[in-house]
Amino acid sequence: MIPCYLGFCTGPAILRILPKGGEGKTKTTLTEWAHCSTKTLAAQDLQAASKQESMIGKSDVLVVDDDADKLTLLSVALGMEGYNVRTASNGREALAAVESFPPDLIITDIMMPEMDGYDLARAIRKNPQTKFIPLILQTAGRHDADDMRLGAEVGALGFVTDPTDLDLLLARARTLLDFKSHLDTWQEAAFTDHLSGLPNRRRLERQLAQEITRTERYGHPFSLLLLDIDNFKKVNDTFGHEAGDEVIRILAKTLQEGIRGIDLAARIGGEEFAIILTETPLQKGIEVAERLRSTINSVQIPTVGSITVSLGVAEAPTCARTARELLACADAALYTAKDQGRNCVISAARDKENSLVSADVQ
Ligand code: GH3
Ligand code: MG
Ligand code: MG
C-alpha cells in the first residue's frame, strides 16, 4: 500500500487517507509525509476524489498554498469530503481564480511569495463581488497572537495553525460552507422574481452596471430590450388575475428559451420585462427583439389564447453611456412602440445632432 505514515494526525479524517497502521507512529514532519504522499497516496486519492459524478451542486473550495505537498494534502482531504477543489500556488493566482469563478470557500496559506494570505484576504474583502466569500487562513509556520489578530482584522473567518489537523480544518470548512449556502439561498431569493422565476429588477440593474463597465473597458456594444405585454389589463379583466399570472409565467419561459445562456431576461415590473443581450450591437438586438415578438405571438396560452408584446431596443455605448440613460432610451423606444399601435419593435438611436430618435423596424 502506501509506504509512509503520519503519526501526529490521529483524527478520523486523516485516518481515512492514511495507510493502515500509519496511526500512532512517531511524529513525522509534514514535508516527509507529503513527500511520499504526493508520490503515492496523493496521485491515487486525487484521482478518486476527482471521480466526481458532476460538479453541479458541489461546494467549490479554492486552496491556496505555495507548498505543493501541503496543497496536495488539503486537496485530497477536501476532495474526499465531496467538495470540488481548485488550487492556486500564491495569492495572485488565487485572485485570478476567484475573479474567473468565485468559490464558496477559500483556504489559504499565509506565507507565500508575490502575495501572502493576509493581502489575499484584504483583496477579497475589498471587492464587493467577493467580500462575502468565507476565508480560512492556515499556516504550518511560526505564529503568535499578533498573527491571529491580524488574520481576524483582514476578515479571515478561521485561523488553523496546524493544517495537518484535518479534522479541525474540515469542521471549519463545513460550518463556513453551511453559512455560505444559507447566504446564497437568501441572495438568490433577493434577486429573483417570485411569480416568473426570472431575475428581478435589482438583479437586472446590477448586471446592467457590469455590462456598462465592460463596455467602457473593452468598447464592445451590448443591447437592452424592454418588453411590455399589450393590453394586459384586458387579459386580467376578461379571464381573471390567475390567467394573467399564467401569461406572465409562460412569457417568462418563452423569453428564457429564446435567449442565449450569457444573456439575461428579467421581470422588472408587473407586465414589463428587460433583456440584456451581451456583446450584441443594435442591429442584432433588433433582430432578436423581432424574433421574440413573433415567437411570443405564436404561443397559444390556455384560456387566454395568443398575446402580443411591444419592444423598445437601445444599444450602449452609442445610445447611452450609463445604465440609467440606457434604460431611458429603451423606455422611450417602447413608448413609441405603444404609440404606434403595439405588437412591434422600435429601436432608439442618436441622430447627427446627438438627439434621441426612435426608428420603426417593422
Ligand atoms: P399597454 O398595452 O399600454 O401596456 O396596456 P396594459 O393594459 O398592458 O397596461 P396597463 O398599465 O394599463 O395595465 C397593466 C396591467 O398589468 C394592470 C395590472 O393589473 C396588471 N398586472 C401587473 N402585475 C400583474 C401580475 O403580477 N399579475 C397579473 N395577473 N396582472 C398584473
Ligand atoms: Mg508558504
Ligand atoms: Mg402593458
pLDDT per residue as tens digits for the range 118-153? 999 999 999 988 999 999 999 988 888 999 999 999
Determine if ligand 1 sits within 6 Å of the CB of residue 33. Answer: no
Measured N-to-C along each axis, helices 117-126 and 91-100 cross at an angle, to the nearest 10 degrees, of 30
pLDDT exceeds 60 at position 243: yes
Residue nearest to atom 22 of ligand 1 (CA): 270
Is the confidence at residue 297, as pLDDT, over 60? Answer: yes
Residue 28 has pLDDT above 60, yes or no: no
Q: Determine which residue's CA is closest to atom 23 belonging to ligand 1.
A: 270
User: Chain-wide mean pLDDT for the chain?
Assistant: 86
Strand partners, 159: 137
Q: How confident is the model at residue 55 (pLDDT cuts 50, 70, 90)?
A: low
Predicted local distance difference test score (pLDDT) of residue 226? 98
**Neighbour count for residue 6 (Cβ, 10 Å):** 27
State the Cα–Cα distance between residues 167 and 74, nearest whole angstrom. 11
CA 210 to each of CA 34, 99, 204: distance values in angstroms, whole numbers, following the listed order: 43, 13, 10
Strands 309-316 and 222-229: antiparallel
Give the CB-side neighbour count of residue 22, counting CA atoms within 13 A. 23
d(CA 215, CA 236): 40
Active site residue 271: yes
Q: What is the pLDDT of residue 46?
A: 42
Report which ligand 1 atom has the smallest distance to the Cα of 242.
29
Helices H, strands E: what count in the chain? 13, 11
Q: Model-level pTM?
A: 0.71
Residue 356 pLDDT = 67
Q: Whose CA is nearest to atom 4 of ligand 1?
A: 230
Task: Specify the range with the lowest mean pLDDT, choosing from 160-169, 280-289, 344-353.
Answer: 344-353
- Residue 24: pLDDT over 90: no
Residue 143 has a pLDDT of: 83
- How large is the average pLDDT for residues 64-76? 95
Running DSSP on this structure, what letter comes out for residue 352? Answer: T
The fold of the 11-190 domain, in CATH, is Rossmann fold (3.40.50)
Q: Give the per-residue pLDDT at 217.
A: 92
The closest-lying atom of ligand 1 relative to the alpha carbon of residue 244 is: 29
| Furthest C-alpha separation in the chain | 85
Q: Which atom of ligand 1 is nearest to the CA of 230?
A: 2
3-state secondary structure of 128: coil
pLDDT of residue 26: 34
Mean pLDDT of 164-180: 95
**pLDDT tens sequence across 299-311:** 999 999 999 999 9
Minimum mean pLDDT range among 20-29, 203-212, 227-236, 316-325: 20-29
Percent of the chain with pLDDT over 70: 81
Q: Check pocket membership of 241 for ligand 1, CB cut-off 6 A.
A: yes
Nearest CA, atom 26, ligand 1 = 270
284 lines ligand 1 (CB under 6 A): no
Q: Catalytic: which of 271, 272, 279, 325?
A: 271
Q: Does pLDDT of 41 surpass 60? A: no
Omega cis (within 30) before 317 = yes
Q: Which of 201, 227, 271, 303 to mutate to test the pocket of ligand 1 (most atoms within 8 A of CB)?
A: 271
Mean pLDDT across the stretch 171-186?
A: 96
What pLDDT band is residue 328 in, cutting at 50, 70 and 90? very high
Where are the chain's structural domains? 11-190, 201-360
Q: What is the mean pLDDT of residues 339-355?
A: 84
pLDDT top residue among 297 and 52: 297
Q: How far is the CA of 235 from the centre of ligand 3 (A)?
A: 10
What is the average pLDDT across 205-219? Answer: 94
CA 361 to chain centre: 35
Q: What distance in Å separates the CA atoms of residue 1 and residue 76, rounded to the nearest whole number?
A: 17
Kindly indicate the confidence band of residue 14, based on its pLDDT and cuts at 50, 70 and 90: very low
Stronger pLDDT, 36 or 230, i.e. the higher one: 230
Give the CATH H-level superfamily of domain 201-360: Reverse transcriptase/Diguanylate cyclase domain (3.30.70.270)
Maximum average pLDDT range among 22-31, 86-95, 342-351: 86-95
